[in-house]
Structure 1
Amino acid sequence: MATASDVAKLAGVSQSTVSYVMSGTRTISPETRARVEAAMRELSYHPNAGARALAGSRTNVLGLVTRFTATTEVGALLPFIDTITGYCRERDYDVVLVTADEGPAGLERLAGRAIVDGIVLMDIRRDDDRVATARELDVPVALIGIPDDSAGLDCVDFDVQAAGNLAVEELVAAGSSRIVLIGEAPEVRAQGFGFVHQFADAVQDAALRAGLRCDTFEPSAEGWVGFGAFGGLVADIRADRAGIVARTPQAIDMTMQILLSDGVTPGREVPLVGLCPDDTAEAFRIPVTNVSPEPRDVSRLAMATLFSRLGGSDAPREVLLVAPRLTRRATTAATSD
C-alpha cells in the first residue's frame, strides 16, 4: 500500500508538501500540485480519513497526545482529558487519544494521514524531541506545558513560579521554621519534565526570600519502596516545626500516612501544603491545604487557543500562563489562624 512518503518521492517534493496539497492549508504552485496529484493517481494513493482529500474540508477530530508510563498519575491526568473532550463535544468534535510514546513519528502520522484537524500535545519535556516537528506540521498544535525553546509555539500551562510562592507563603504564615520539599524519585527526575524542576526551584527561591532553609527529601524510588526513609525525618520535622510541600497526590498521601503513623497530625503540629486539584485535596482523610494547578482552566485555555487557530487566527504564538490558586484547609488552618 502506497504512503504519503512514496508520493513525495515520486513527485520530487517533501512529505509536508504532499500534506499541504491534500489539506489545502497552504498555497502550493499549480505545477507542484499537478505533480503530487499525478503521483497519487499513479500509486493509487488514497489518504486515510479522506475528509481532507478535498481542499478546505475537515475531519472534525482532534488528536490528544499524552504519555502513559509507569510513573503517570492517572488521577492528575483525568481533569485534562475530561475537560478537553467536553470542550470538543460542545463544538461537534471528536477526540483521538494517543498514549503511545511515538515521538515525532506519532505527530507526523496524525497530521500526514489527514486523521485530525489539530493536535493537543501534553507531557512536555524541557528538551522535547516532538517540538521541532510540531512547528512544521500543517495542522495547528497547542502544547500543555512549556519546553525550553517555546519560540513559534502555542503553549499553555499554570504559573509554576507563582505556585511555589503560594505554597511557601502559606507555610511561613503557619509559623514554619524551615521548609521540607518532597522531591522526586530518580525515574521522574530523569524524564526531564520542565514543571517538575521549575516547581522545586520556585519553592527553594521562595524559602530563600523568606529567610528559611529549604531541605529536599528525594525518594530513592517510586512508591513506598523509595519513600520509607521519610519516616526517619519526622522527629526533626516535628521538633523544628518545619513546613512540608508535596508536589503530587501520591506524595501528599504517603507523607500524611507516615506523619499520622508517628503520631503527628498535619496542621496541628506540622503544616503541609500540596500541589493538587481541589477535589483531590478535599478527598484526603484530613483535607489538605492545596495550591491548585487549575487543570481545567489550563485545558480550556489550550482548547480556545487551538480552535482560534482552526478559525484562521494568525496572532503571534506565545506562552500563556494560568494563575494557580491556594485554598486553606485543615493542614495549615490550625496554625495559620
Structure 2
Amino acid sequence: MRIDDDRADERTDPVGPAGSVPPGRRGRLAPTSKDVARVAGVSQSTVSYVMSGKRPISEKTRRSVLEAIDQLTYEPNAGARALAGHRTNVVGLVVPFHNPEAASGLMAFAEEIAVIARGRDYDVLMLTAAEGPAGLVRVQRRAMCDAAIVMEITTDDPRAAIARELEMPVIFIGVPDDRDGLHCIDFDFETAGRLLVDELADAGCPEIAVLGWSEERVGLGINYVPRFRESARARAAERGVPLRWISAPHTRTGVEGYLDAALGPDGGPHPGLLTVHSPHDVGAALQQRALVPGRDLDVVSLCTDVEAQAQPVPPTAVSTQPRDVSRLAMAWMFDLLAGDVPAELRLVEARLTRRGSVRPSGS
C-alpha cells in the first residue's frame, strides 16, 4: 500500500552513472532498505529480518531499525510487506486521552480488551496520543501489531479513509458518518436516548432537563454525542414533552450550575432529570438540597450499572455496557485475523434497568 500518492514518482527517479541524481531531482529518491540499514548501523539483511521476522533479532537492534524506518518514512514494497505479515500477537488500542474526564470513561473498555487479549496470548499496545491517521500508518509501517481497535471516533473521522486501505484489520468502536467499508461496533445510543425520555414522559414529567456532555467534549466531535442528543430530542418531541439540553463540565461546580438552571425557583413542579455520565455528583448535590430521587423528583441516567449501584438512590438507567462492547469487538477482531469478514455496523442493544429514582405515574 502506498500512503502518500505524491511520492509515486520518487521511487523510480533515474540515477546517473555515478549514482548521481539528475539536475532538479536531487533529494527526491525514496528511502530504501539500504538507507535504513545505514541509519540504524546494521546490515541490510538485518533490516530484512526485522521486517520478515524470519530470524530472531535482539530487541535493541529491532528498535534501532524501527526508529530508522520511522525517521526516514521508509515504506517497504509489497513483497517486503508480505514478508512482514508474521504475527506479533499484539493488538493495538488507539485511544486518545483528550482529558481526564475522557480517560476515566474509557478505562473499562481498555481493561476488558486487555483481559481478553491476555486470555488469547496477546498483548495490548495502547496509543494514547491524538495522532489521527498518522498513528495508524505508523503502527502498520513498523509492523507493531496484528490488528487495531480504534476508539474516540468522531462524526467526521479522518482515520476512516486510511483504515479502509490498511492491510491489517481495523475495528472502530464508534460510528463515523461515512462508515462504508469499515468494521464498526458500538453501543446503541439512539435507542438509549428514546428509552430514557420515555421513562420520564411515562412518569408525567412536565419537562426534561438533560445534563449533557461538556462543551469541551462536544467540541471534539465525538460521534455518540449527536446520536444520543438528536434521538432524545426527537423522542421528546414525539411525546410532547419539552426538553432542555444543558451542557456543563462534569465537576461539582458544573453539576451545581446544571441543577440551578434545571430546577429554578422553589415551589414549581420539578422537571425530570436526565444525566449522561456518572450520577455521583448529581446525587450528592440533590442530597444537599434535601431532594430525594423517586420521592421529590425523577432522575434517570446514561451510566454503567456499577456507577448506578454506587449511589444512595440508584437511578433508573441505561448502561452503556463498555465491557460487552469490548468483548464483541475483540471477538470480531479475532474473526478478522482468521479470515475475511464483511464490513458492517454492529450495535450492542440498549436496555433500561428500573430502580427507585422515578416516581410511579400519577404520584
Give the TM-score category using the shorter length.
0.7 to 0.9
The structural deviation recorded for 1:116 is: 0.4
Q: Which protein, 1 or 2, shows the higher relative CO under an 8 Å CA cutoff with sep ≥ 6?
A: 1
1:105 lines up with 2:98 in the alignment: no
Instruction: Flag the 1:231–1:182 CA change in 2: closer, same or farther, 3 A.
Output: closer
Distance 1:49 1:56 in 2: 9
The structural deviation recorded for 1:76 is: 2.4
1:282 lines up with 2:309 in the alignment: yes
The structural deviation recorded for 1:223 is: 2.5
The residue that corresponds to 1:40 in the other structure is 33
Equivalent residue runs for 1:125-136 within 5 Å:
125-136=154-165
Give TM-score, length-normalised by structure 2. Answer: 0.76
Q: Does the 8 A contact of 1:83 with 1:300 survive in 2?
A: yes
Q: Does the 8 A contact of 2:298 with 2:357 survive in 1?
A: yes
Partner amino acid for 2:301? G
Q: Does the 8 A contact of 2:297 with 2:359 survive in 1?
A: no
1:195 lines up with 2:224 in the alignment: yes
Give ranges in structure 2 of 5+ residues lacking alignment.
Answer: 13-29, 38-43, 55-79
The residue that corresponds to 2:58 in the other structure is none
Instruction: Flag the 1:232–1:43 CA change in 2: closer, same or farther, 3 A.
Output: closer
Q: Does the 8 A contact of 1:50 with 1:114 survive in 2?
A: no
The structural deviation recorded for 1:10 is: 10
Q: Does the 8 A contact of 2:84 with 2:143 survive in 1?
A: no
- Which of 313, 323, 335 is 1:296 aligned to? 323
Provide, for residues 55-98 of structure 1, a one-character-per-residue CA deviation record: whole Å limited to 9, x for no partner. 54210101001011225344421221121112111211111011
The structural deviation recorded for 1:331 is: 1.2
**RMSD of aligned residue pairs (Cα, Å):** 2.8
Distance 1:269 1:94 in 2: 50
90-99 vs 222-231, greater mean Cα deviation: 222-231
Q: Does the 8 A contact of 1:167 with 1:245 survive in 2?
A: yes
Q: Does the 8 A contact of 1:49 with 1:115 survive in 2?
A: no
Which one has the largest radius of gyration? 2
- Which of 179, 183, 188 is 1:159 aligned to? 188
SS at structure 1 position matched to 2:185? strand
The residue that corresponds to 2:175 in the other structure is 146
Instruction: Flag the 1:333–1:101 CA change in 2: closer, same or farther, 3 A.
Output: same
- Which of 291, 302, 306 is 2:333 aligned to? 306
Provide, for residues 285-333 of structure 1, a one-character-per-residue CA deviation record: whole Å limited to 9, x for no partner. 22121101111111111112211111012x3201111111211112126
1:12 lines up with 2:41 in the alignment: no
The residue that corresponds to 1:263 in the other structure is 290
- Which of 312, 317, 325 is 2:351 aligned to? 325
Give ranges in structure 1 of 5+ residues lacking alignment.
Answer: 14-35
- Which of 223, 235, 258 is 1:230 aligned to? 258
The structural deviation recorded for 1:218 is: 2.3
How many equivalent residue pairs?
305
The structural deviation recorded for 1:43 is: 4.4
Distance 2:246 2:352 in 1: 23
- Which of 263, 270, 280 is 1:253 aligned to? 280
Instruction: Flag the 1:175–1:105 CA change in 2: closer, same or farther, 3 A.
Output: same
Distance 1:253 1:237 in 2: 23
Partner amino acid for 1:298? V
Give TM-score, length-normalised by structure 1. Answer: 0.82
The residue that corresponds to 1:28 in the other structure is none
The residue that corresponds to 2:148 in the other structure is 119
Instruction: Flag the 1:60–1:49 CA change in 2: closer, same or farther, 3 A.
Output: farther
1:204 lines up with 2:233 in the alignment: yes
Provide, for residues 229-261 of structure 1, a one-character-per-residue CA deviation record: whole Å limited to 9, x for no partner. 224232458732421111111xx2332233222
The structural deviation recorded for 1:104 is: 1.3
Ranges of 4+ aligned residues in structure 1 off by more than 4 Å: 8-11, 47-50, 235-238, 333-337
Q: Does the 8 A contact of 1:103 with 1:130 survive in 2?
A: yes
Partner amino acid for 2:312? R
Distance 2:267 2:287 in 1: 12
175-184 vs 138-147, greater mean Cα deviation: 175-184
Distance 1:55 1:284 in 2: 51
SS at structure 2 position matched to 1:244? strand
Provide, for residues 4-37 of structure 1, a one-character-per-residue CA deviation record: whole Å limited to 9, x for no partner. 99xx989828xxxxxxxxxxxxxxxxxxxxxx9x
